Structure 1
Amino acid sequence: MPTKLTDFERQWIPKINQVLETEIAADSDQATLTQAMSYSVNAGGKRLRPLLTLAVITSLGDQIDHTLLKTSCALELMHSYSLIHDDLPAMDNDDLRRGKATNHVKFGAGMATLAGDALQSLAFQWLVDNDLDSQTQAALALAMSKAAGPHGMASGQADDIEFVGHQLPLEGLRKLDRNKTGALIVYAVKAGLIMGRVIPEKQQSLLTFAEKFGEAYQIYDDILDVVGTEAQIGKPVHQDAGKNTFPNLLGLDGSYEMLAQTVQDAEAALQQAQTELGIDTGLLDDFCGYFKNKDEK
Structure 2
Amino acid sequence: MTSFKDFIQTYKPQVEETLVAESKQHGPEVSDSYEQALQYALLTKGKRLRPLLVLAVIDSFGQAIDGEAVKAASAIEWVHAYSLVHDDLPEMDNDAYRRGQLSVHALYGPSLAVLVGDALQAQAYQILSAVKSISAEQKMRMVATLSARSGAFGMVYGQVLDMGNHNVNHDAVAQEAVLNQVYQKKTADLLTAAALIGGHYLDLDEAAMALMGKYGQKLGLLFQIQDDFDDYEQDAEEGVVSLVHLYGLEKSKQMIADLRSEAKQALQDLEKLEPAFDAGLLTNLIDLIGA
1:252 matched to 2:249? The reply is yes
**Alpha-carbon offset, residue 241 of structure 1:** 4.1
Counterparts of 1:33 and 1:81, CA distance in 2: 14
Alignment TM-score, normalising by the size of structure 1: 0.90
**Alpha-carbon offset, residue 176 of structure 1:** 1.5
Q: Residue deviations 1:127-178, cap 9 Å, x none?
A: 0023132111111111111011112001111111135425444443222211
Q: Which moved more, 1:71-80 or 1:162-171?
A: 162-171
Name the structure 1 match of 2:151. 149
| Shift >4 Å, 4+ stretches | none
Q: Verify the 8 A CA contact 1:53 1:191 in the aligned structure 2.
A: yes
Q: Verify the 8 A CA contact 1:190 1:207 in the aligned structure 2.
A: yes
Size of the alignment, in residue pairs? 283
Find the residue that maps to 2:64 and give its secondary structure.
Answer: coil
1:32/1:163 Cα in 2 relative to 1: closer, same or farther (>3 Å)?
A: same
Name the structure 1 match of 2:264. 267
1:243 matched to 2:249? The reply is no
The structure 2 residue matched to 1:190, chosen from 164, 172, 196, is 196
Name the structure 2 match of 1:176. 182
Superposition RMSD in Å: 1.9
Q: Residue deviations 1:113-133, cap 9 Å, x none?
A: 111111001111100023132
Q: Verify the 8 A CA contact 2:211 2:269 in the aligned structure 1.
A: yes
Name the structure 1 match of 2:61. 60
**Alpha-carbon offset, residue 243 of structure 1:** 3.2
**Alpha-carbon offset, residue 221 of structure 1:** 1.1
Counterparts of 1:140 and 1:103, CA distance in 2: 28
Alignment TM-score, normalising by the size of structure 2: 0.91
Counterparts of 2:64 and 2:154, CA distance in 1: 30
Letter in 2 for 1:285: T
Name the structure 2 match of 1:231. none
1:163/1:225 Cα in 2 relative to 1: closer, same or farther (>3 Å)?
A: closer
Counterparts of 1:110 and 1:100, CA distance in 2: 19
Name the structure 2 match of 1:73. 74
Name the structure 1 match of 2:4. 5
1:270/1:171 Cα in 2 relative to 1: closer, same or farther (>3 Å)?
A: farther
Q: Verify the 8 A CA contact 2:38 2:116 in the aligned structure 1.
A: yes
1:85/1:239 Cα in 2 relative to 1: closer, same or farther (>3 Å)?
A: farther
Counterparts of 2:137 and 2:230, CA distance in 1: 41
Counterparts of 1:40 and 1:5, CA distance in 2: 25
1:213 matched to 2:219? The reply is yes
Q: Verify the 8 A CA contact 1:160 1:243 in the aligned structure 2.
A: no
1:239/1:91 Cα in 2 relative to 1: closer, same or farther (>3 Å)?
A: farther
- 5 Å matches for 1:1-150? 4-27=3-26, 29-131=30-132, 132-150=134-152
Counterparts of 1:67 and 1:204, CA distance in 2: 24
Q: Verify the 8 A CA contact 1:55 1:284 in the aligned structure 2.
A: yes
Q: Verify the 8 A CA contact 1:33 1:114 in the aligned structure 2.
A: no
**Alpha-carbon offset, residue 242 of structure 1:** 3.6
Counterparts of 2:216 and 2:65, CA distance in 1: 21
Counterparts of 1:253 and 1:287, CA distance in 2: 23
Identity between Structure 1 and Structure 2 (%)? 32
1:10/1:163 Cα in 2 relative to 1: closer, same or farther (>3 Å)?
A: closer
User: Unaligned 5+ residue runs, structure 2?
Assistant: none
Q: Verify the 8 A CA contact 1:54 1:72 in the aligned structure 2.
A: yes
Q: Residue deviations 1:243-273, cap 9 Å, x none?
A: 3411221123332222122112111111111
Counterparts of 1:64 and 1:209, CA distance in 2: 21
**Alpha-carbon offset, residue 80 of structure 1:** 0.4
Name the structure 1 match of 2:279. 281
